[in-house]
Amino acid sequence: MRRAMVVACAFCFVPGMLVAQGKSTGVAESTETRRLQALEEQVHALAAQVELLRRELIKVRDPQPNGVAPSGRLVLTAGPGMEKGAAERTVSAMAQPSTPVSGEIAAMQPAAQEPSPILGGPQTQVFGGATSNAKLLNPDISVIGDFLGSLGRNKIRPVPALELHESEVSFQAIIDPYARGDFFLSFGETGVNVEEGYVTFTALPGGFVAKAGKMRAAFGKVNTIHNHALEWTDRPLVTENLLGGEDGINDAGFSVTRILPAPKWIFLEGTGQVFRGDSGNIFRADKHKDVSTVGHIRAYKDLSESSNVDIGFSYAHGHSAGDTLVTLLPSDFHTNLYGVDATFRWKPLRRAIYHSFLARTELVWSHRDQLSARNAFETQRAFGLYTSGEYRLTRRWTVGGRFDRSARAADANLRDTGFSALLTYWPSEFSQVRGQYRFARYAEKFDANELRFQLLFVLGAHGAHPF
Amino acid sequence: MRNASEETRLTSLAASIVSIALLLATLTPLPAQAAGKLQIITATADLASLAQEVGGDRITVESIARGYQDPHFVEAKPSFLLKLRKADLLIVVGLELEIGWLPPLINQSGNPRIQVAGPGYLDASRFAEILEIPKGVVTRAEGDVHPQGNPHYWLDPNNGLRIAKGIADKLSEMRPADAKYFDERYEALADRLKREDKKWLEQMKPYAGRKVITYHRSWPNFAKHFSLDVVGYVEPRPGIPPSPSHTLELIRLMKRENIKIVMVEPYFDLKTPNAIARDTGAKVVVMLPSVGGEKPVTDYFKLFDYDIALLVKAFQEVH
């Protein structure tokens, strides 16, 4: 039928066209040109419609968050005058504005794309480097290896010649609009420990930030820092003697923090924490009511855009642990810890990755109730401190030093003294090589000279630590 | 023993008093929010400039990172928390540019409005054309790679316009009564940016397609918009300091391809770029990737004025 109509039309129009052609060739050419132009315009319009339909089809089949073009359809873009080769190298996926932009600049060629209705409007991106929808809801996962080597002799606190001291595995993610979760699992050579695992409620009214779970207590500075983020391969003697060693005050409980009113440009923050009361050889809870408490006040001030000072006051209270006899009178034996910490930082903003200086000191007083050698009640009052400094020489090299002096919590007459010199090399942001010469003179009249070596390496996305 | 118990009880009482005092201290109310102007904090000075252009006198805006600072390595100072806790809106670059410092600040701010996906959180990368999105398997062997694409996208005036539109829409959403004001300011910005961009493109036209070296991968959007061809980097991989072998390779490439321009951000050491320039006869151009990188560069327009004037001068000198 269609073919018959075409033939009939041809019979009608072709003779007429031939006649007309004979009359005026010029007019015919002009008509033909216009017709061709009209056809071209129709073809362009149809092509645009096809492209529009194709985009809608892709959008329906494969909706993308954030308005990002489907990964399978990369858009080749090139600015005016760009070389062919350059344009080919600049393969780009176009993330589109959520609403059309008026007044686009000449070179701009965005393919306007509304946010996917399936996802319910514009989506925000989350930290974590997810590259596909399947990974978007996974937490940031990282593993940090802490490999330690040691030369020399230390019969008071011996360490292996070589050890994978710790493998810290972390899982961090936003839980919902009101909270985020952080887990840090510490794999040692002999077992696994939940170093920290807590939920942080970030959307509380009144400016409060609350945490619940197991966490390092906000006592001073070093107690809050994970091994891999320390400036040394070990922890200071005062931590070993008075604050529970490597794990420090680390317990299950609640924490509430809030910025406090203060004069302008002074940052004042208060933290109150309540824990179960079990923390290494410092605190022990035999009853539910034997909780431990920690309080911390932090004052911070920028001295200039490159330097600042940070001062903290800490207090911790709990039931004494560490002596089997203590179990007989758990509620009558307490340990009180008092701490002062001060930090000075200098980092020129224009050369922040090349040069910086950090000086820090912490003073700790321990008042510990216990039974004496003659089985009488006594309170041991011990004091310890460390002072350290670290200077970044270049982008890759850092030198540092530390002085230690601390009495022992159970016998304040025993005092240990030490100092360390450190050299650190950073191949990249994700690995670190460190050497530390450590001298310690222990109360037992023993001198330890050690050369320690540390290799830290980071796999995956490890979240930033608080300042 | 009785004395000891009494002492312990006293200590316990003191501890309780200190704890209660601390908790009471934390219960003091937050300062009242400023009634009139929206308080905006941005991650970088470029976003602050665009927000100021659109928000006019209805907002106050401040940037956390300075223009002469490497935006990857800003310190999460507590003093920033004082600003963030009062902010109505936080505008971030996104694409993990601030991953090393901004998340802890947001978490500690105690400000529910600016939490990720909160009503006062705006990720500017949503509006921009993003380049260099890695394909296939992404590993750290490629250096400090950004899996969601290159975050230095604001260095394309088209993206500046898109971001400004996104900010204008957000401000209108937050203050519907001022929507007309924000829209008018955006239209004025668009007109001006269009005119200025025409001028910048004209200035750069003679150098279209020229091959250049950059220190870090900060300039893909800039290069694309102004038709420059970035063929190498001083860093062997993003975030990895220059190595002697890579530097030698780069020098050979520059000699072979007759490349005469090395673009360096102001926060990188000039030792290696200068050595490369001495060996190849190239010129080191310290380009500003952000507003505020130098004192005269006070807004988004002056940023391009400054960079393009530097580049044009450098191209004229080397050819």
- CA A168: distance to chain centroid? 14
pLDDT at A449 over 90: yes
Convert the pLDDT of each residue in B295-304 to its tens digit: 999 999 999 9
The DSSP-derived string for chain B is -HHHHHHHHHHHHHHHHHHHHHHHHHTSPPPPPPSSSEEEEESSHHHHHHHHHHHGGGEEEEESS-TTS-TTS----HHHHHHHTT-SEEEE--TTTTTTTHHHHHHHT--GGGSTTSTTEEEGGGGS-B-----S---GGGSS--TT--S-GGGSHHHHHHHHHHHHHHHHHH-GGGHHHHHHHHHHHHHHHHHHHHHHHHHHGGGTT-EEEESSS--HHHHHHTT-EEEEESSSSTTPPP-HHHHHHHHHHHHHHT--EEEE-TTS-SHHHHHHHHHHT-EEEE--SSTTSSTT--SHHHHHHHHHHHHHHHHHHH-
Tokens linked to A94: 């176009």
Average pLDDT of the segment spanning B251-279? 95
> Residue A77 and residue B224: Cβ atoms within 8 Å?
yes
Interface with B, mutate which of A92, A96, A105 (most B CBs under 10 A): A105
Convert the pLDDT of each residue in A220-246 to its tens digit: 999 999 999 999 999 999 999 999 988
Convert the pLDDT of each residue in B306-317 to its tens digit: 999 999 999 999
Give the pLDDT score at A67. 35
Give the pLDDT score at B2. 40
Which residue has better confidence, B277 or B25? B277
| Whether this model's pTM surpasses 0.80 | no
The DSSP-derived string for A68-86 is BPPTTSPEE---TT--HHH
Q: How far is A147 from chain B (nearest CA, A)?
A: 20
- Residues in B touching A200 (Cβ below 8 Å): 107
- The number of C-beta contacts closer than 8 angstroms across A and B is 287
Phi and psi at A379, nearest 5°, equal: -115, 115
Task: Choose from A65-79, A118-132, B150-164 the range with maximum mean pLDDT.
Answer: B150-164
**Alpha carbons B190 and B203: distance in angstroms, whole number:** 20
Per cent of chain A over pLDDT 90 is: 56
Give the pLDDT score at A372. 81
Nearest to A253 by CA among A276, A224, A284, A226: A276
Lowest mean pLDDT among A28-37, A63-72, A246-255: A63-72
Give the pLDDT score at A84. 35
Q: How far is A460 from chain B (nearest CA, A)?
A: 8
CB A319 within 8 A of CB A335: yes
Give the pLDDT score at A58. 57
pLDDT at A108 over 70: no
* Residue A123: partners with Cβ closer than 8 Å, 6 or more residues away: A65, A66, A115
Give the pLDDT score at A59. 54
pLDDT at B229 over 70: yes
pLDDT at A130 over 50: no
A72 touches chain B (CB under 8 A): no
pLDDT at A85 over 50: no
Average pLDDT of the segment spanning B214-222? 96
Q: Could you tell me the pLDDT band of residue A79, with boundaries at 50, 70 and 90?
A: very low
Average pLDDT of the segment spanning B26-44? 70
Q: Could you tell me the pLDDT band of residue A274, with boundaries at 50, 70 and 90?
A: very high
Average pLDDT over chain A reads 79
pLDDT at A6 over 80: no
pLDDT at B110 over 60: yes
